[in-house]
Amino acid sequence: MTDTPYRSGFACFVGRPNAGKSTLTNALVGQKIAIASSKPQTTRHAVRGIITRDDGQLVLIDTPGLHRPRTLLGQRLNDLVFETWSEVDVVGVCLPCDQRIGPGDKFIIGEIAKLGHRPTLVALATKTDLVSRDRQLSHLVDIGNVAEELGIEWAEVVPCSATAGDQVDTVRDVLLSLLPEGPMYYPDGEITDEPEETLIAELIREAALEGVRDELPHSIAVVIDEIMPRADRPEDKPLTDIFASIVVERDSQKGIIIGHRGARLREIGTQAREQINRLLGTRVHLDLHVKVLKEWQRDAKHLNRLGF
């Protein structure tokens, strides 16, 4: 027995699109659970990663990026962000070292500062591997200045790189140390409480987004139609059939997803299948269809059905 109190609580990362939030979440949790993609604004669901240690438990919540709400989907995503911020104990503000702190970053920090219940704020200078030592130092000075400018206080400022593994342990330690004393919320060994179906849908969405134009991300949703174990398989070689639909808004987008003679759709299937195999630990057969649901982002009925 030690005298150190058990700490537990919730944290989330915020920052501009591409700031490295999902990648850092994955690095901290040590298993791929959130969706990392080189396209901005791909994180949609509040995917949680759970870190359980002898001295505490940290539940990481991944929120979508804040953006100008032009559609009903945009509004709902923003509401989800504000809701999450006021519920967590710690918010890690990701400020990538290779980018100057700009109006977008200040807007996000300013919005958090306005919350009635303000979480503890930590500044994470992400992507240290991309810059020189000098640039890193001037970035840290800017991070200090921005706190003063906006009237907030950083509990800690940590430079780190999720891809190079630089200071990831420190980020984990710092986040845990800032949590209140509390119980273990989730049993040990649980990495995410997202239903498997959501994770599978996210993996397919991620594969579908790879290499498509920048404006497409918001137009794609994935619905899992059915997941079932294939009958009559030998016990040591199980196979799972997964039927899923990729939903787009326009016929032209359907064409992009399917590609020339179905080439892109096949690529999406292959890539997603590999990830799903890894997630489930069994072989899967993936059956993908592309559906057009006109203007689904503006239609409350469609949004509800697609899980937003």
Q: CA–CA distance from 104 to each of 45, 176, 229 (Å)?
A: 22, 27, 46
Determine whether the annotation assigns residue 64 to a binding site.
Answer: yes
**The one among 51, 80, 130, 293 contacting ligand GTP by CB under 6 A:** 130
Q: Has 16 been labeled as part of a binding site?
A: yes
Tokens 């326009």 appear where? Answer: 250
Minimum CB distance to ligand GTP smaller for 13 or for 284: 13
User: Cα–Cα distance between 49 and 23 in angstroms, integer?
Assistant: 12
Find the part of the chain contacting ligand GTP (CB under 6 A) among 16-24, 103-111, 178-186, 262-270: 16-24
Residue pointed to by tokens 């020189």: 132
Strands 239-248 and 120-125: unpaired
Q: What angle do CA 171, 191, 284 make, to 5 degrees?
A: 130
- The least distance separating ligand GTP from the CB of residue 161, rounded to whole angstroms, comes to 4
Q: Which of 21, 48, 139, 264 binds ligand GTP (CB under 6 A)?
A: 21
Write down the least CB distance from residue 289 to ligand GTP, Å. 26
How many angstroms separate the CA atoms of 63 and 35, rounded? Answer: 11
12 lies in the binding site for ligand GTP (CB under 6 A): no
Q: Is 91 in the site for ligand GTP (CB under 6 A)?
A: no
Nearer to ligand GTP, 258 or 272 (CB): 272
- The answer to whether 284 and 240 have CB atoms below 8 angstroms apart is yes
104 interacts with ligand GTP by CB under 6 A: no
- Dihedral sign from CA coordinates of 114, 124, 23, 175: negative
Main-chain phi, psi angles of 7, to 5 degrees: -110, 145
Question: Could you say which residues in the range 28-67 bind ligand GTP, by CB under 6 A?
Answer: 36-38, 40-43, 65
Q: Is 58 helix (H, G, I), strand (E, B) or coil?
A: strand
- Helices 251-258 and 263-280 pack at an angle, to 10 degrees, of 70
> Is 65 annotated for ligand binding?
yes
Q: How far is the CB of 22 from ligand GTP (least distance, A)?
A: 3
Residue 182: how many CB atoms within 10 A of its CB? Answer: 14
Q: Which of 9, 20, 56, 74 binds ligand GTP (CB under 6 A)?
A: 20
Local structure of 155: helix, strand or coil: coil
Piece of 11-19, 184-192, 203-211, 275-283 that binds ligand GTP (CB under 6 A):
11-19
Query: What are residue 159's phi and psi, to 5 degrees?
Result: -80, 140
Per-residue x/- track, 154-183, ligand GTP (CB under 6 A): -------xxx--------------------
254 is in an annotated binding site: no
Residue 275 interacting with ligand GTP (CB under 6 A): no
Q: Which residues are annotated as a binding site?
A: 15-22, 62-66, 126-129
**Which segments are annotated as binding site for GTP?**
15-22, 62-66, 126-129
